[in-house]
Amino acid sequence: MGSIVYTEGTGIPHRSFEDAFLTHKQCSEWWYATGYLADEAGNRFSFQYTLAQIRILGIQFHMLLTAVTDLQTGRHYYAQHQSFFGKGITSNLQETSFGNLASIRYTPNTVSTFGDMELSMHATEYDLQLSMQAKKPPVWHCADGTLQMGVLDDPNQITYYYSLTNLSANGVLHLDGKEHRVSGKAWFDRQGGPCRLTNPLTNWEWFSFRFFDEEEIMLFSFPRTGYRDGTYIRSDGSRQRLNEYEIEPLGYVTDTATGYRFSNGWRVTMTSGKAKEYLVQPVSEGQLNLFFFELLADVIDPGGNHVGYCVVELLPGARNKRIKPWLALK
C-alpha cells in the first residue's frame, strides 16, 4: 500500500537532518544514491537509485529511476516507473521505496540516524542488493544547507541539500543472469525545495568527487547563469564551502534520441580545498536517464595520478535553451 510521512514547510531554512529527510508536500525533491562497484575478478560497475517527488506543470507525482552500467562493455541498463497519488510509495525515517521494485531501508549507526542502508533494486535485466554503511556524518552543503538554484533574483529557486558522502558498499549484483559479488563506495543525497525545474536556468552540472584518501568534493554549477556553489568534505567529516572554481568543458556529445547537447570531459580549477586543478575524464559514455545525463569519470591530479572517481550529472537546460518537460510523463 505504501505510507508517506510528511513534515511542514519547504525545508528552508532547514531544521534537523531527520526533519529534512521526511516528505515536503509542496516541493520537488529526491532521495538519490550513486556508487561504483567491482567484483572479485576486477570487473567494474556503477549504479544509480532515485526516488523523486516531482511537480511539473501543476502535476505532482513520484518517479523511480534505477540504473546499472557495466563499465567493461559500456552497456547501460535502466528502468523508470511512475506513481500518481502516492500509490505504492513508502517514505519515512526507516524506508524510501517504490512498491517492490526498489527500496532503501535505514537503521542508525554511530554517525547517523540513517547510517546503515540496505539498498534493493529490481529490473528485468538486473537485480542489485547492497549493504551500505556511512563512514562520516551527513553534511549540509553550500550556504548552511541552502543552495540557490542558479537564479539569484528569485527567492523560490532554492533547495535544501545534504549528503552522506562516504558509504562503504558490499553486496550482490545479478546482471543478465550472471552473479557478481561486489564491493565499492556510495554517496547518498537528500535534496529538494520549491524550485521550478522546468526553468532551464535552474538546470545544473553536478560533480561529486570521491577521492581515494576518504575526502570528497561536491560542485553544483549552473552554466546558463554562471552561478556555482559547492562543498569540500575532509576525511574527518568537517566541511568547507567552495564557491570559487571554474569548470572548463573539454568536449561535447549529443544525445541522438533528444538532440540534447552535453559537455563531456572537464578541467576543474579551484582556489581552495585540495589540489588546484583536476582533469575529470569519463570512464564510459554517459547515458540520459529521463531528466539527467549521468556518467562515471576518473579524477586525475596535476601529477597525472588517478586519485579518485567522480559521478557527473548533467541536466539538459545547462547547455540547451529548450527542454522538454513532458518527457517525464512518457
From first to last of its 330 residues, what are the pLDDT tens digits of the chain?
579 999 999 999 999 999 999 999 989 999 999 999 999 999 999 999 999 999 877 788 999 999 999 999 999 999 999 999 999 999 999 999 999 999 999 999 999 999 999 999 999 999 999 999 999 999 999 999 999 999 998 999 999 999 999 999 999 999 999 999 999 999 999 999 999 888 889 999 999 999 999 999 999 999 999 999 999 999 999 999 999 999 999 999 999 888 899 999 999 999 887 878 999 999 988 888 877 899 999 999 999 999 999 999 999 999 998 776 555 444
CATH code where residue 24 lies: 2.40.370.10
User: What does the H/E/C string look like for the chain?
Assistant: CCEECEECCCCCCCCCHHHHHCEECCCEEEEEEEEEEEECCCCEEEEEEEEEEEEECCEEEEEEEEEEEECCCCCEEEEEEEEECCCCEEECCCEEEECCCEEEEEECCCCCCCCEEEEEEECCCEEEEEEEEECCCCEECCECCEEECCCCCCCCCEEEEEEEEEEEEEEEEEECCEEEEEEEEEEEEEEEECCCCCCHHHCCEEEEEEECCCCEEEEEEECCCCEEEEEEECCCCCEEECCCEEEEECCEEECCCCCCEEECCEEEEECCCCCCEEEEEECCCCEEECCEEEEEEEEECCCCCEEEEEEEEECHHHCCCCCCHHHHHC
Q: Which of 216, 286, 204, 210 is nearest to 247 (CA)?
A: 204
Cell of 180: 557478481
Q: Could you give the C-alpha distances from 298 to 176, 183, 247, 315, 319, in angstroms and in order? A: 26, 18, 15, 20, 22
At 324 the pLDDT is 66
Distance in angstroms (rounded) separating the CA atoms of residues 33 and 104: 9
Number of domains in the chain: 1
pLDDT of residue 272: 83
Answer whether 113's CB lies under 8 Å from 190's CB: no
Could you tell me the residue range of the domain that residue 38 belongs to? 3-329
Q: Report how far residue 214's alpha carbon sits from residue 231's, in angstroms, rounded to the nearest whole number.
A: 14
pLDDT of residue 199: 86
pTM for the model: 0.96
Say how many C-beta atoms besides its own lie within 10 A of residue 128's C-beta.
Answer: 26
The Cα 117–Cα 134 span in angstroms is 8
Any idea of the CA torsion for 197, 200, 202, 207, to the nearest 10 degrees? Answer: 100
